[in-house]
Amino acid sequence: MFVCYGMFVTPIVFFLLGISFGSFMNVLIDRLPRGQTIWGRSHCDHCNKKLRWFELVPIISYIGQFGRCRRCHKRLSLQYPLIELTTGFGFLLLYPQYAFMIIFCALLVIFVADLKYQIIPDSMILVGILGALLSKPYFIPGIGAALFFLLLWIITKGRGMGLGDVKLGFLLGLFLGFPRIAFALYVAFLTGAIVGVILILRKRAGLKSKIAFGPFLILGALISILYETTIRTWFYSP
C-alpha cells in the first residue's frame, strides 16, 4: 500500500514542481532577451503594477482572474499558463532524469524567447550545455553542428543565420549525437522553408524578412528523439 501511494504521489509532486518552475521560465523568457534582471518583482505587462503573491500562483491565479489583470482588467497573455502547464507535463514525463529536465527547461526558454524576440539567451545555452554534460555528451556531433552553422553565418555575413543558432547547434549536437542531430537539422530546414513560403504567400513576411530559426531547430530535435529508432534504421540500413 505504501509503495503504491508513493508511486502515485511522486508524479503529482513533480508536476507541481514543474508548474512552479514554469512560472520562473516565463520570467526568463521575457526578461533575459531584454537584458532585465530576473530577480525583480513581477508586474502586469499593461499597467506595470507589481503583482501580489496570490496573483502569482501558477495556473490557479490566471484561471481565478479569468485571464485578466485585477487592476487594469486587460487580458493577460496565454503564454503564462501554457508555459506552466508545458513545464509541469515535461517534468512529469522526464523525472527522474534530472539532466534531461535541465535541458528541457533551457530549450523551452530558448524556443519562446527566440520566437518572441529573435534572441537566444547565452545563459540558457550554458544551462542546456550543463544538462548535456550531466547526461551523455556527444562532443564531435556538437562541434560539427556548430561548425556547420558557423560556415552558414560566414557565407551569409550574418544575414541568413545568427551566432545564437551556432551556439544552439552546438548544444543540440552535444545532446542528440549522430544521427539524430543530422535528422534534426533536416527537419528544421524543411519546416523553416515551408513556414517561410507560407508567410510570404500570405504577405506576412518578405524575402528579406528575418524568421527565428531556433524554434525549428528545437522542433527538429524533438522529432528526432521521438523517432530515434526509425532514424537509426534509416541511416544505418544497408
Per-residue pLDDT tens over the stretch 62-80: 999 988 988 888 898 999 9
**pLDDT for position 157:** 84
Question: Which 3 state secondary structure label does DSSP give 114?
Answer: helix
Residue appearing with cell numbers 520566437: 115
Q: What is the mean pLDDT of the chain?
A: 88
What is the rounded distance in angstroms from the CA atom of residue 129 to the CA atom of residue 101? 12
In 3D space, the residue among 109, 121, 83, 213 whose CA is nearest the CA of residue 158 turns out to be 213
Phi-psi region at 187: left, alpha or beta (left = phi > 0; alpha = psi -120 to 50): alpha
The per-residue pLDDT for 206 is 59
Low-confidence ranges of the chain (pLDDT < 70): 1-9, 203-209, 235-238
What pLDDT does 208 receive?
Answer: 62
φ, ψ (nearest 5 deg) of residue 162: -100, 165
pTM over 0.85: yes
Domain ranges of the chain: 1-96, 137-238
d(CA 168, CA 126): 10
Please give the pLDDT value at position 205: 64
